[in-house]
Amino acid sequence: MPWQWISQIFNRASPKNQKPLLVTKVNQGGNVNTINENSRPPVQQSAKDLELAFFCWLLECSDADLNYDSKALGEKEERLLKALDQDTLNLNQLPRRPASFPILIKLLNDTNTSLTDISSTLLSDPALATKTLQTANSPFFKISSESIDSVERAVFVLGSQGIRNIISTTVMMPMLKGKGSKESLFSQKAWEWALLSATASDQYSNIQGHEPGALYLLGLLPSLAYLVIYRSLLAHQSKHQPFKDIEPALVKSIIQKRSWKVCHDICQQWGLPPSSNKYLLDAERPSPTSTFTPLRDGILMGSHKVLQSTNRSPINDLNAFSLTSATTAVNTRVIEYIEDRMKGE
């Protein structure tokens, strides 16, 4: 069986003749810890551990539930894959791509951007402008009894992260299910992962001076692909075996075998530029010699951070650094940015 998707993303040659590297970190309690980076687990083992923990979290199952050694499961997977490829798996349920998205993210990454610049871009996309006003007037953001009827005022109230969340919501929300549905927990977790992966991918690109904006949208695609596949599996199961759940090991395996294809299909449907497919290929089939893989790095860091937020990541930040193609300095800036966003700062 080929390496699973997350192991492929993280596959990276270990440096040779590496000298001991001591890294000092200050934790939230103010305690100083010095860690020998060379004492960390091997890169491939860290990747496997992270992959296993991620799917246990996503599918709400145990390690044992993800074991795949049954001939019967293999035959069932073949039938499911054939059914999905023939008539079940489609992209008709996907939301539209906001046309102004790349420009807007680029503006949000520029510290010299004015509120007027952001407002003008939002106004060029009526759906985003409407969503911005609705969010700014929601009880969570509203700061007075008066309604906010100006997009520029809404931008001021929401801030850059609020605008990013609106963009993400516009793309992701049509795919999410509310409480009470079978896929509600899965979709909520996919949403959390999407936000972190998109933010991290965008920052890896922005910090290293490449294409600000495009990587945020691409960082949402794996989560969208997972949702499409999971929803299609549930629909098939409901039609053919309504009282029996699909085994977590099967869900994991099918997601791994079809998610990248779905990502490429979304790129085509949304009319994304050819460079988008290159980033996807770099994430799907990583080269050990690559030095700039923002999407791959963003997905793995998003996976690590979403697990870490519930104390379920099997690795620490330094382990995660070793799985990326970025430098320690870049990785440090990315996780600092992510943690600030997670804290709402």
What residue segments make up the domains of the chain, in order of their start? Answer: 45-83+183-345, 98-175
What's the mean pLDDT in 326-338?
95
73, 247 in Cβ contact below 8 A? yes
* Average pLDDT along the chain: 80
Asked if pLDDT for residue 30 goes beyond 70, the answer is no
Place of tokens 């993400």: 168
Alpha helices (H) along the chain: 5-10, 43-59, 71-83, 101-109, 115-123, 126-136, 151-172, 184-207, 214-240, 248-270, 274-284, 294-308, 317-323, 328-342
What's the mean pLDDT in 3-12?
42
- Identify the H or E element spanning 22: strand 22-26
Stronger pLDDT, 68 or 303, i.e. the higher one: 303
84, 233 in Cβ contact below 8 A? yes
172, 194 in Cβ contact below 8 A? yes
Q: What is the pLDDT of residue 297?
A: 96
Q: What is the pLDDT of residue 100?
A: 76
Stronger pLDDT, 267 or 312, i.e. the higher one: 312
Write the pLDDT tens digit of every residue in 67-113: 877 777 888 899 999 888 886 666 666 766 667 777 887 787 677 88
Q: What is the pLDDT of residue 243?
A: 62
User: What CA–CA distances, in Å, run from 239 to 85, 111, 234?
Assistant: 16, 52, 9
Stronger pLDDT, 226 or 106, i.e. the higher one: 226
Write the pLDDT tens digit of every residue in 238-283: 888 766 788 999 999 999 999 999 999 888 887 777 888 889 998 9
Q: CA–CA separation, 120 vs 205, rounded Å?
A: 25
Write out the two tokens for 11.
């596959």
